[in-house]
Structures are given as structure tokens and as C-alpha cells.
Amino acid sequence: MAQPDDERLTALAARFERDDPRFAQAMRAGRPSPPREYRRRGAWWALAVALAVLITGVVLADGLLIATGLVLAGMAAQLFDPHRMRGRQRPPRR
């Protein structure tokens, strides 16, 4: 492999280590885990809670619970976005 290719691979490995240390460690061990963008266990739990609140609101005919369930469902849906920024600022628009 040419030297520039080695440098690119080293830079890529460093970026993976910085962005998702768990994924990088699993790759080094030879048993890769899904990257952080595709781990959505918390999102599924949030959606389940939101739907439970929504259904409870419909059964009890309580508008406040229905509204709360809809808002929670919207918040849970945002957790499924694989490209959401985690505490970082968005790059400037050009």
C-alpha cells in the first residue's frame, strides 16, 4: 500500500476512535458492533412509553394525556434520526 493510503487509513481509524470508541474497540477485537447511529434501544423504549401514554389518553378520553402522548411520540421519532448531532454544533451553511 502506498504511503498516502496508510495515512488516510490511520486518519480514518483515529476518527472512528474519536466518534465512537465502543465501535472502534469492537473492530480491533474482531467482533464489530453496530455503530452508534444504529443503536436505537432507547428510541424504541421512548416510543413505547409515548404510545402507552397516547393510548391511555384515548381510553380515558383525556385531552392532556393525548397531547402529551403525541408530543412524546414526536420526541421519540427524533431519536431514530441517524444523522442527529450529539451536542456538537452544526457545520456552517454555505
**Given a cut of 70, is residue 92 above it in pLDDT?**
no
- Distances from the Cα of 80 to the Cαs of 36, 37, 43, 66, 87, in angstroms? 11, 9, 6, 22, 16
- 90-94 contacts: CB < 8 A, separation 24 or more? none
Per residue in 32-86, pLDDT (tens digit) is: 766 666 667 888 899 999 999 999 999 999 999 999 999 999 999 988 876 666 5
Tell me which residue of 78, 56, 82 sits closest to 69, measured CA to CA.
56
pLDDT, average across residues 84-92: 58
Put residue 30 in one of left, alpha, beta given phi > 0 → left and psi -120 to 50 → alpha: left
What confidence category does residue 24 fall into, taking pLDDT thresholds of 50, 70 and 90?
confident
